Amino acid sequence: MEFLQENMIWVALAFVSGGMLIWPMVSGGGVANLTPAQATLLMNREDALVLDVRETGEWNTGHITGARHITLGQLDKRLSELDKFKDKPIIVVCASGNRSSSACGQLKKHGFGKVFSLGGGVSSWRDANLPLTTKS
């Protein structure tokens, strides 16, 4: 007890840092973020579906070839379009990685098991000098 009293700041810091590590798992997060290289491997080796959840204007400026476009706001209404991909890996993409994490959570709640987020989104894809297309 004396140790705890003398080291209260260190004990509190340990609890806070531990909580920060556990929070993504407890809050339904814990989504695996892929680098562009990891995403490319998953696409090539396991025929992963790329799901782009950006708004239409963003999509039109360039997207990953072969990606399916469903905006985050429409995802709940259009989940049935993805049912045939429940057993395949799905890589969710947005501009920076924030919306894709949210979309991954929605997909997991509806039984999609292999869901990943492209860390850094399309920006990281572009920074890795990987191709984007404007064709639908």
Structure confidence at residue 44 (pLDDT):
95
Q: Is residue 136 part of a domain?
A: no
Q: Which amino acid, residue 16?
A: V
Q: Which domain range does residue 90 map to?
A: 31-127
Could you report the per-residue pLDDT of 16-48, keeping only the tens digit for each?
A: 665 555 544 444 456 789 999 999 999 999 999
Structure confidence at residue 26 (pLDDT):
44
Q: Are residues 22 and 38 in the same domain?
A: no
CATH of the domain at 78: 3.40.250.10
* 5 pLDDT higher than 50: yes
What are the start-end ranges of the H helices in the chain?
2-6, 8-26, 36-46, 56-60, 98-109, 121-127
Q: Are residues 42 and 109 in the same domain?
A: yes
Mean pLDDT of 108-120: 93
- When divided into structural domains, the chain yields a total of 2
Q: Is residue 57 part of a domain?
A: yes
Q: Is residue 19 part of a domain?
A: yes
Query: Residue 77 CB: number of other CB atoms within 10 A?
Result: 9
Mean pLDDT of the chain: 87
| Predicted TM-score (pTM) of this structure | 0.78
Q: Known catalytic residues?
A: 94
Q: Are residues 22 and 40 in the same domain?
A: no
